[in-house]
Amino acid sequence: MKPFPTVAPLFWLKGEDDSILIDGLNQLKKAGINECILEARPFPDWLEKKWFDTLKTLFDFAEKNKMRLWLFDDVHFPSGGAGGKVPEKFRKLLIRRRYVDIDGNGGTYCLQIKGLGTEKFFRAICAPFVLPDNFDSEKAFDVTDKVQNGKLTLELPSGRFRVFFIFTTRDGGENHTRDWINMLDPDAVDKFIDIALEPHYKELKKYFDNGVMGGFFSDEPRMGSAPSYFSLPDGRFPCLPFSFELAKRLDSMPAGFWPSLWHECQDAPLFRAKFMDEVSKLYSENFPQKIGKWCNKHNVQYIGHLVEDNGAHSRLGYGNGHFFRAITGQNFSMIDSVLHQNLPGIEDGIHSSSFGPHFSSFYQWGLGKLGSSAAHLYPEFNRQCVCESFGAYGWNFGLDVMKRMTDHFAVQGINSFVPHAFSNAPFPDADCPPHFYARGMNPQWQYFPLWNNYCKRVCDLLSNGIHISGAAVLYHAEAEWTTLPFTPFENVGAKLLKAHYDYDVVPFDILENAEVSNGKMVINGEIFNVLIVPSGMILPQYEEILQRLAKDGLAVLYTDEITDAKKYLHSPVAEGTSEFLRIYQYEVDGETRIFLLNESIKETVEFSMTVNGSYLYDAVNDKKYAWSKYIRLLPGESLFAIVNAKDIPENLPVLPYEYIEIASKKLLVADKINFQIAATVNQNKRSFIEIEQNAGVIEIICNNQKSAPLFAPPYRMEITNCIREINDITLEITSPPAPELAEAPFDIEIPLKLDILCKIIHAK
């Protein structure tokens, strides 16, 4: 299987002239990017002659220039609408309930059944009513067969009863996806393939066969049963996803099953978990697995991401019920981070933006781990996880923050990126900036290869090997499905990462076949010393799995804390190191690469390694340094510690960590600044200029000697050979497009410094 590229931007098609699109592909090629994902956003003649003519022009260019192109599978996100061409019988179907209370001395009762709008009667259940506002599920009985000509006739004893009417409907869910396919209906997914994929194969077969066509990309397919991240079967939302295949699978459930999806009863936790279990499996079998099989049969690959946002990955509404099941069938694992969801310096609690509240702890500690864990644990993903990144962060979002975001996800195991986005529309396109080329109007585009090359170096070091973890944390989907109190996996994961212990999140589905040997659990080559089970209801069938693992010798800890887990884990950095330090260990052919990152936005982190290494590697500047157990990282700075390297270069320079400040000057940010600094020169010391700022790419000219462009911290230039007592210094700063172009919903929320500090320093 051909790997997914390290960098493959979204490349938007909105009906622009072919010459503009070819220029865009050519710009990517010049920047060192050989693959991208073509996305209609939307294209006015999608699936018509103009669409395929445009695609053939782009694929011809790609073939001649040894590029590979991928295709978004719909006219606009989210996937599943097939460009509005879905016949009604294949469209999304939901269920909702209504109920009537009966309280009397018994006798015959006749109830008229009337649905509203598109509602159609499906089932009727009667049960004794029990205060407060629920029912006795064990005494519930199905009365569907007593419905004739739109009326239900019942013979009831004295007492209070509640009669539940279940209706199917096409109304009441997320209105935006009302006419999307029913992803729980295999025939509907087949129809989607016929509408959206087959025509591309017919028109572009040559490129499917010669490898220029990389594959299809699904963007945020979802249940759409509610316009919400939080929908579950617990009564808070009126509609739930449905298909008659789902009803067939649930036909053996007791009568109290259906009303329990909305109303409380003694069996509600088990019934709700059963519903979610079948829904998530049916979605998995139909949408991603069917499309994946079609793609593989047609010599291309399949990738995509869900709406993981705010924990929706284990819910309905915007979610698909179960993250790991919902991406089964793809060739690679994938997540996305857009809309200000991940912000440097914001790690816990809730942060808000124009897009609404974001659960910071999930994005900081859980999102990346969902994607990378799937890549680590499932062989079909080939240990590769892709992250769609940077979308809708605004024009002020520059290369420096891109580097920070890249590091944040790389240190959690992400090793491919889909930058969002390369728009070919006239500048400034208001559609979810930033846009990287922007028809030549983004001044930082000339430096885009700096980020691209850095990203490739980091991801290459973290690919084609084995992640070294130690801790497995149980995925919480099944516990959440019961709608009882539970602890999300990321709450435990945060404690591990802050204490410099890594983890993978592991679902029950894969634990079922996990092997334990010598007290260690091995899954796809990943070795775990301990399994942490956060608090929440454990269903009986899954409790048996946990008991079997413990019996086989694995340490299984039922806790939200990590105190007892620590004795099974090892960290490569000394205890007491700042919690802003992040680590990720990866082994390739016996060589261990430890990615070290200071995620603080203001604090310098100093620490000692607990392992003996071979050398240190600075991926920003592509330079190797002699090994040192003591390491100092400035805010946002990253470094690799290489252990057990087969080849260790000789005479490596020492990376200086301690400095003496000999001169400094505070300056207002501008595009170009010229000034002088008087300094005390010591010819026996290495000398540097260091800039503290985060407002653009900097080029430093000191006494007519010019630095390479600096796009991320540390902004430092060695001036040992040109330092004088009076130093003439010029700073040339290239910022993202002017802030006045940024529309309010996309203003970057990362604080920008209004001044910069220029320091001349000597290494101690």
φ/ψ region of 636 (left if φ > 0, alpha if ψ in -120 to 50, else beta) reads left
The pLDDT of residue 132 is 79
Who contacts 322 (Cβ-Cβ below 8 Å, separation ≥6)? 276, 280, 284, 313, 314, 477, 507
Average pLDDT over residues 211-224: 98
The whole-angstrom separation of Cα 423 and Cα 151 is 57
The pLDDT of residue 655 is 87
The whole-angstrom separation of Cα 562 and Cα 64 is 55
pLDDT classification of 736: cutoffs 50, 70, 90: confident
pLDDT classification of 751: cutoffs 50, 70, 90: low
Does residue 139 carry a pLDDT above 60? yes
Backbone angles phi, psi at 732, to 5 degrees: -105, 115
The pLDDT of residue 417 is 98
φ/ψ region of 274 (left if φ > 0, alpha if ψ in -120 to 50, else beta) reads alpha
Average pLDDT over residues 399-409: 95
Does residue 288 carry a pLDDT above 90? yes
The pLDDT of residue 320 is 97
Coil/strand/helix, residue 414:
coil
pLDDT classification of 743: cutoffs 50, 70, 90: low
Q: Quickly list H helices, 99-138.
A: none
Per-chain mean pLDDT for the chain: 94
Does residue 753 carry a pLDDT above 70? no
pLDDT classification of 737: cutoffs 50, 70, 90: confident
In this prediction the pTM is 0.95
Does residue 748 carry a pLDDT above 90? no
Average pLDDT over residues 363-370: 97
Cross-strand bridge partners of residue 663: 760
Omega before 132 cis (within 30°)?
yes
Does residue 693 carry a pLDDT above 80? no
Q: How far is CA 487 from CA 291, 315, 573, in A?
A: 33, 15, 28
CATH architecture of the domain with residue range 659-763: Sandwich (2.60)
Query: How is domain 467-568 classified at the CATH fold level?
Result: Rossmann fold (3.40.50)
The pLDDT of residue 739 is 56
The pLDDT of residue 587 is 98
Q: Which tokens hold the place of 190? A: 């087949």
Give the pLDDT confidence of 75-129 residue by residue, as tens digits. 999 999 999 999 999 999 999 999 999 998 889 999 999 888 899 999 999 999 9
What are the residue ranges spanned by the domains of the chain? Answer: 10-87+182-233+285-463, 467-568, 581-643, 659-763
Q: Is the separation of the CB atoms in 605 and 580 below 8 Å? A: yes
Per the model's pLDDT, the better-predicted residue between 311 and 740 turns out to be 311
Average pLDDT over residues 362-380: 97
- CATH among 2.40.40.20, 3.40.50.880, 2.60.40.1180, 3.40.50.300 for 581-643: 2.60.40.1180
The pLDDT of residue 706 is 96
Class of domain 10-87+182-233+285-463: alpha beta
The pLDDT of residue 151 is 95
- HEC profile for 328-395? ECECCEEEEECCCCCECCECCCEEEECCEEEEHHHHHHCHHHHHHHHHHHCHHHCCCEEEEECCCCCC
Give the pLDDT confidence of 152-188 residue by residue, as tens digits. 999 999 999 999 999 999 999 999 999 999 999 999 9
Per the model's pLDDT, the better-predicted residue between 714 and 14 turns out to be 14
Average pLDDT over residues 729-748: 72
pLDDT classification of 741: cutoffs 50, 70, 90: low
Residue bearing tokens 């999806």: 261
Average pLDDT over residues 482-507: 98
The pLDDT of residue 745 is 56
Give the pLDDT confidence of 632-691 residue by residue, as tens digits. 999 999 999 999 999 999 999 998 877 888 999 998 878 899 999 999 898 888 999 998
The pLDDT of residue 517 is 95
Neighbour count for residue 77 (Cβ, 10 Å): 18
The pLDDT of residue 352 is 81
pLDDT classification of 756: cutoffs 50, 70, 90: confident
pLDDT classification of 750: cutoffs 50, 70, 90: low
Q: In the chain, pLDDT over 90 holds for what percent of residues?
A: 86
Q: Is the separation of the CB atoms in 698 and 757 below 8 Å? A: no
The whole-angstrom separation of Cα 361 and Cα 349 is 6
